[in-house]
Amino acid sequence: FKQNAQDIPRIRKLFGNCLDAIKQLHQQDQYMSQGFVRNMLKVSDNPVQIGFIDFEDDPLTVMNLPQAQARDLILFINSTARFFVGDSEFFQQQIHKFLEGHKPAVINNIQKTNDKLLWVTKVPFQKALGHDYQKLKIGILSLQNLPLSTHKREVK
């Protein structure tokens, strides 16, 4: 995926619009079926409205609401990190801003999951893994030092 400099403001704005839509959903104690960006549509331009598609799965059949909402963000980050390989600071700032006002249980579930993935960011042969690895690493690192997390990290 290649993007030019003119795309950056548009991508940043759309990313923020998607995060706002997910946050509104979460504030209503709702969740997504599958939180990938491919399951979100821009419904209108003025004002920008984001809609959700793909309601085949119901995560609440196997997890609780805070876990389902944490899953929404983790899947969304995984599917959007590719757009921010060169803009990781913005990516992390927006994610942390998104989490402000979320329930501590959601943030703790995200942190707990992310802590289990941190080892991936430390493999010694990173350059050989290419672009897919870079976007995975950006996603994992963007979830470090989350606001209001009370999850106790394991020290190894």
pLDDT tens, position by position, 98-151: 999 899 999 999 999 999 999 988 888 888 888 788 888 889 889 888 876 555
Angle at 49 between CA 47 and CA 51, to 5 degrees: 165
Burial class (CB within 10 angstroms; exposed 0-12, middle 13-18, buried 19+) of 89: exposed
Q: Which two tokens stand for residue 128?
A: 């050989």
Q: Which domain holds residue 12?
A: 7-142
The number of distinct structural domains making up the chain is 1
Residue 152 domain flag? no
Tokens 């060169």 sit on residue: 86
pTM assigned to the model: 0.85
pLDDT digits (tens, 9 = 90+) for 113-125: 999 999 988 888 8
Beta strand 40-45 with 48-52 is antiparallel
Quick check: is 84 in a domain? yes
Q: How far is CA 92 from CA 24, 41, 152, in A?
A: 19, 23, 21
Q: Is residue 149 part of a domain?
A: no
Whether residue 74 lies inside any domain: the answer is yes
Whether 113 is covered by a domain: the verdict is yes
